[in-house]
Structure 1
Amino acid sequence: MTADAPMQRPLFALFVRLAAAATLSVMVALVKLASESGLSLPEILFWRQLPTIPLVILIFWTTGRLGRLRSKRTKQHGLRALLGIGGMFLNFGAVTLLPLAEATSLNFTSAIWAVILSALILHERVGLWRWGAVIFGFVGVLVIAQPGNGHIPLFGAGVALGAAFMIALISIAIRDLTKTEDSLTIVFYFALFTTPLLATALPFVWQAKSAEQWFYLIALGLSGLLGQYLLTSALRYGSVSSVIVMDYSALIWATLLGWSLFDRLPPATTWLGAPLIIGAGLLIAWREHQLSRPARSLAAPP
């Protein structure tokens, strides 16, 4: 059984994406707290994914929609899971290596990577506006990272850029799946495919946990499920180029959480570089909106 064709609700999608950004910012802060408490990254990822499976089944069962878990697109779900687990390792790894604000700022380059991927993989014609935005955004990356003289490790910056690259790939895969699949179904299969893989690492990293560590793991599992559902739902009701604008609000949350939980405020270079990256993303979103107007006019009913 497949989900009904999604009805586009752009304004609603923006609010959903805004809520996703806030929720996932809390999850990322919990990942950093869990890592600093001594927990390993594979174990953090395992507990991030495990609660999703029973909770999604419970939600579908109580609402009488258990049939929505059946899917004829297991290969596409498998590809999304493969990309997703790589993206999670890089994304959570960047959080453990970098301060929250810097990791979040470099994560915003996903819009820039999306332009590069559209040119290289989809063979889409990319004009001067979007190539200019790509250059503009990577100048911001250089300002933040300051190769050879920076306040953040270059390896951590590379991991964060790799995570943003994977986000661009994953967004394309999710957008395709939302054409036929329920948002929670996509989240369910992601957890179903990745949890067993992560479980194979547990014998090598398992350790006794304190009550504080269990709190971090349970809280990041629940916030991760909610954030992933909101993220997927936003792509169901709006296009990638429109909803991605709301992701930039995560920098506000990352700054506040970094200050309140880790007593760390970003330096001046981050405040100079982040607007360049955000500006590049906004320029890309605006240009894609402009380019899609003729297509929307032709598709509109007379």
Structure 2
Amino acid sequence: MHAAPAHRPLLALLIRLGAVAGLATMSALIKLASERGVHLLEIMFWRQFLTIPVMLAWVWATTGGIGSLATNRPWVHFRRGLYGTIGMVLNFGAVIILPLAEATTLNFTVPIWAVLLSIVLLKEKVGLWRWSAVALGFIGIVVIAQPGSGHFPLYGALVGLGAAFMIALISIQIADLNKTDKPLTIVFYFALFSAPLTALALPFVMTSHDSTEWLLLAGIGVTGLVGQLLLTAALRFGKVASVIVMDYSALFWATLYGSLLFGVLPPASTWFGAPLIVTAGLIIAWREHRFAKTLRREAAPLEGT
């Protein structure tokens, strides 16, 4: 069995920062590919399929064989692949439907969904601070979406929130898989199980592409792979509640790419709502950090007996 990873919070933060940059670049490329007529499901297929040979070549070159990708939990990886495929549909869909900054900001609700999932799945008791953060976060969503104003389509907001929910759910799965498997193994099996699922749609959605579109699809595969590896590695060395603060740097990248590539800057409502959602996430991360410190302090006397 794979040894439990060491807790290295600073390294985890730096890795997560790199993951955010990689995934933000992937999102911009997805939007460019979609605007050129490439179907969402085909984008998903190439994003995952390209991962498989690249990872096999890398593992073969660095270890001399693929034995390091072995796992004793294939069904857990299959379930992660199924959930991840659903999450990709929503996440990529939000990027295509919404401006990059708005899609990114809705992703910041992941900690809020994580709190709600901890209540439902882990039966945790949530106190005033975290409930207040949940309420603050949803106020931020309302400010950004402006229901009934026509600011952007309601279904786009729902897709974006659904994507954030799936990320929170998948983060729990990845944290569990990190206890036994390496990041390379987790990412490889995600691609291995999800690529065939998306391939089923290719006869209905695939079209011919020019060189630019093939470069975009290749870029999506590479940046997605790098981002996914770093994202998984960050959860290997740090807790979700600690590393998630780096995710807010995605708004910088989304604003930059939105301005340079699409000539779109976030409206005032996004700048008013985003700080509310970010503050909610920081409160949740702070409470998780305090809670973890309390547990370690209480456990210390027991370990010394």
TM-score using structure 1 length: 0.98
Aligned-partner residue type, residue 287 of structure 1: R
Structure 1 Cα separation of the partners of residues 3 and 226 of structure 2: 22
Offset, 1:189:
0.2
In structure 2, C-alpha distance between the alignment counterparts of 1:247 and 1:213, rounded to whole Å: 28
What is the CA RMSD across the aligned residues, in angstroms?
1.0
Report what 1:180 is aligned to.
180
- Give me the whole-angstrom Cα distance separating, in 1, the residues matched to 2:37 and 2:276: 35
In the other structure, the counterpart of 2:213 is 213
Structure 2 partner of 1:231: 231
Partner in structure 2 of residue 36 of structure 1? 35
Tell me the number of residue pairs that the alignment of Structure 1 and Structure 2 aligns. Answer: 301
Give the Cα separation in 2 of the matches to 1:78 and 1:66.
Answer: 19
Partner of 1:254: 254
Kindly state the Cα deviation for residue 298 of structure 1 after the two structures are TM-superposed.
4.0
After superposition, residues 87-98 of structure 1 pair within 5 angstroms as: 87-98=87-98
- Percent of paired sites with the same residue: 60
CA distance in 2, matches of 1:57, 1:164: 30
Q: Quick check: 1:10–1:237 contact (8 Å CA) kept in 2?
A: yes
Q: Which one is further off, 74-83 or 264-273?
A: 74-83
1:65-104 correspondence runs (5 A): 66-104=66-104
Distance 2:276 2:150 in 1: 17
Q: Deviations over 1:266-287 (max 9, x none)?
A: 0000000000000000000001
Q: Which runs of 4+ in 1 moved over 6 A?
A: none
Instruction: Indicate the residue corresponding to 1:9 in structure 2.
Output: 8
Query: Counterpart in 1 of 2:48?
Result: 49
SS at match of 1:63: helix
Structure 2 distance, partners of 1:299, 1:67, is 37
Structure 1 runs not aligned, ≥5 long: none
Alignment correspondent of 2:159: 159
TM-superposition CA deviations, 1:212-271 (whole Å, max 9, x none): 100100001000000000000000000000000000000000000000000000000000
CA shift for structure 1 position 297: 2.2
Letter of the structure 2 residue corresponding to residue 284 of structure 1: I
Q: Give the secondary structure class of the aligned counterpart of 1:54.
A: helix
Mapped contact 1:183–1:232 kept (Cα < 8 A): yes
Q: Which amino acid aligns with 2:219?
A: A
* Separation in structure 2 between the aligned mates of residue 246 and residue 296 of structure 1, nearest angstrom: 24
Which runs of 5 or more structure 2 residues have no equivalent in the other structure? none
Q: Deviations over 1:105-145 (max 9, x none)?
A: 01110110000111122110000100000000000000000
State the alpha-carbon separation in 1 of the partners of residues 293 and 208 from structure 2: 56
Q: Distance in 2 between matches of 1:18 and 1:53?
A: 24
Do the aligned partners of 1:111 and 1:281 also contact (CA within 8 Å) in 2? yes
Q: Distance in 2 between matches of 1:297 and 1:191?
A: 40
1:66, CA displacement in angstroms? 2.3
Residue of structure 2 equivalent to 1:18: 17
- Which secondary structure state, in structure 1, belongs to the residue aligned with residue 162 of structure 2? helix
Residues of 2 paired with 1:71 and 1:299: CA distance?
32
Q: Distance in 1 between matches of 2:117 and 2:270?
A: 26
Partner amino acid, structure 2, of 1:54: P
Distance 1:79 1:124 in 2: 23
Worse-superposed segment, 2-11 or 168-177: 2-11
- TM-score, scaled to structure 2: 0.97
Q: Please say if residues 3 and 68 of structure 1, whose CA atoms lie closer than 8 Å, have aligned partners that are also in contact.
A: no
Secondary structure at the aligned position of 1:142 is classed as: helix
